[in-house]
Structure 1
Amino acid sequence: MTSASAGSPNGRPNERPNGRPETGDATPAEHAAHVEKTLLQARALIESTVSLYRRRPDPGTTAPHSDVAVLGEAVEQLVFRARHSVCVALPDADVFALIARKALAELAPGPVVRLLCAPQVADAELGALARSPGARFEIRVSEAELRDIVIADGTTALVRAGAGSAKGQATLVNDRAAVRALELLFAGAWSGGRKLDDHLALSPRLLGDLTRRILERLRNGYTDDAAARDLNMSLRTYRRHVAEIMRELNASSRFQAGVRAVELGLLLE
């Protein structure tokens, strides 16, 4: 989080010819890139699996659900039949989110529920849901790209199409390998999410794209001069933004600000 090593003309840490830092261990930036690559591979696997599933000849298992009433019934059946666990991802505050939230609100105590949502879905009502009597809810907010998913007991999942002519349709998946791939994608996003209460307590300033870009450069060891040039702003303006971010994070140093940003899911580890 401090200034870059000497001898780096652009203000970044010294690198070997292959682009890796001189230290033998992976840097936080390399780790983040590895996590992102893994999530992209998992997402590609899911897209491929769901596509193959739709082309299967058995319509009883793979019939798409697009009608709101039918979709609501499918989600409720999946959630209410769960005995051990329910994982739900909600990327948008749309009809699917309303259906899923309604089903979870009516769920009898028993299964552990993990709800992962995008920032635009998170609100105080979700907090009330987590605090309802008998509930076993864990709710996190993620900046990662999500897909509408409901996974029950690690054996069955409902996946909603994300784009194209099939958008709005949902496919029921009960193939163990496909469901496992969905679980891995969910787990990757979940690990980088922040708790709902932490998210609701965040200043809007910390959720902006500029803050994320500044935090990334602090973490990667840019000097102030290099970071300001990279972000096309004056050194004075950059330092003012850094001071404001540290104040919002209640951090006494840039390193502490970076640690706090990772804890809150503002940056990948």
Structure 2
Amino acid sequence: MEAVLDLLESDSTGGWAAGEHAAHLEHALLQARSLIESTVSMHRQRLVVPSPVARNSTAQLGGVMEQLIARGRHSVAIALTGPGEFTESVLRLLGKNPARATVRVLCTADAAEASAPRLRRLPEPRLDVRVSDSELRGILVVDGVTALVPANGPGSGGQFAVVNDAAAVRALELFFAGAWAGGRTLADHLRLSPRLRTELVRSILERLRAGHTDEAAAREINVSLRTYRRYVAEIMRELDASSRFQAGVRAVEFGLLSA
């Protein structure tokens, strides 16, 4: 563009012959056109770059999930939070088409109890199921590079998002790994009496592990000494533990206490 301005200025002062002026003007205009076309092309390329988050409707969930699971070569991590289209699609697909990759399914207690018969019948030999007391949200992470996340909240319309952003997928994978490490096997979870999964039992187990005396522990949780000792005896019986120390070890193994 500066060349064009130079031409106009030189023409106004009569400094160039007509032929030279025309040739230089044509060359300058061609350069300007080339610059404009290059800029437009770059802009169009930016517009067609795939978004790191692609939203889809629930009607597409099964198909997209099947493609992602089939694509997995190393690992497929799945978190289930309860009944719904997401959980139903996972159970249907894993039961019909076992994945090539190692599959880890992490459930909330409610999801595990609602889907336990189907989870135990899954034919996948490289599948591990655990139950977590952590707060989970439904996710599917494949090979640490792609994730599928159901949309939550009002106005979501039952949509889900396929996430390809490396940082976002890594964050979801780390969240899953942390909850997985503190989970218990499905078999251990189903063996446990519901009475062992209460806040009161957790409080007693924490005090047993900390070595509190019965008197001090009973005062802290606001029960009588007799009631506290009865609870301890019931907990040891449920955990099939012969000592309080063994009860603490088994509580960690079953995910009732964090390690």
TM-score (norm 1): 0.72
Partner of 2:77: 87
- What residue ranges of structure 1 are gaps of 5+ in the alignment? 1-56
Deviations 1:122-175 (A, max 9, x none): 11321111xx2x531011111111111101111100122344544843221112
Q: Which moved more, 1:158-167 or 1:87-96?
A: 158-167
Deviations 1:29-58 (A, max 9, x none): xxxxxxxxxxxxxxxxxxxxxxxxxxxx97
Structure 1 residues 14-29: aligned runs within 5 Å: none
Larger Rg belongs to = 2
Partner of 1:63: 54
Q: How far apart are residue 99 of structure 1 and its match?
A: 1.4
Contact 1:61 1:173 in 2 (8 A): yes
Q: Which moved more, 1:110-119 or 1:224-233?
A: 224-233
Distance 1:243 1:170, change over 3 A: same
Partner of 1:211: 201
Alignment root-mean-square deviation, CA: 2.2
Partner of 2:177: 187
Distance 1:262 1:73, change over 3 A: same
Partner of 1:236: 226
Structure 1 residues 256-267: aligned runs within 5 Å: 256-267=246-257
Three-state SS of the structure 1 residue aligned to 2:189 is helix
Q: Which moved more, 1:173-182 or 1:159-168?
A: 159-168
- Whole-Å Cα distance in 1 between the matches of residues 152 and 62 of structure 2? 18
Contact 2:205 2:257 in 1 (8 A): yes
Partner of 2:93: 103
- Whole-Å Cα distance in 2 between the matches of residues 256 and 263 of structure 1? 10
Distance 1:167 1:114, change over 3 A: farther
Contact 1:160 1:167 in 2 (8 A): no
- Whole-Å Cα distance in 1 between the matches of residues 88 and 191 of structure 2? 23
Three-state SS of the structure 1 residue aligned to 2:110 is coil
Structure 1 residues 90-169: aligned runs within 5 Å: 90-122=80-112, 123-129=116-122, 132=123, 135-163=125-153, 165-166=155-156, 168-169=158-159
Structure 1 residues 166-177: aligned runs within 5 Å: 166=156, 168-177=158-167
- What residue ranges of structure 2 are gaps of 5+ in the alignment? 1-47
Aligned partner letter, 1:86 = V
Aligned partner letter, 2:121 = A
Partner of 1:75: 65
- Whole-Å Cα distance in 2 between the matches of residues 171 and 137 of structure 1? 25
Greater fraction helix: 2
Contact 2:78 2:105 in 1 (8 A): yes
- Whole-Å Cα distance in 2 between the matches of residues 102 and 112 of structure 1? 17
Aligned partner letter, 1:212 = R
Deviations 1:223-249 (A, max 9, x none): 222222222211111110111001111
Contact 1:141 1:193 in 2 (8 A): yes
Contact 1:160 1:171 in 2 (8 A): yes
- Whole-Å Cα distance in 1 between the matches of residues 136 and 74 of structure 2? 23
Q: Which moved more, 1:110-119 or 1:204-213?
A: 204-213
Contact 1:92 1:121 in 2 (8 A): yes
Partner of 1:197: 187
- Whole-Å Cα distance in 1 between the matches of residues 255 and 108 of structure 2? 12
- Whole-Å Cα distance in 2 between the matches of residues 167 and 203 of structure 1? 38
Aligned length: 210
Contact 1:124 1:200 in 2 (8 A): no
- Whole-Å Cα distance in 1 between the matches of residues 222 and 157 of structure 2? 38
Distance 1:59 1:142, change over 3 A: same
- Whole-Å Cα distance in 2 between the matches of residues 171 and 202 of structure 1? 36
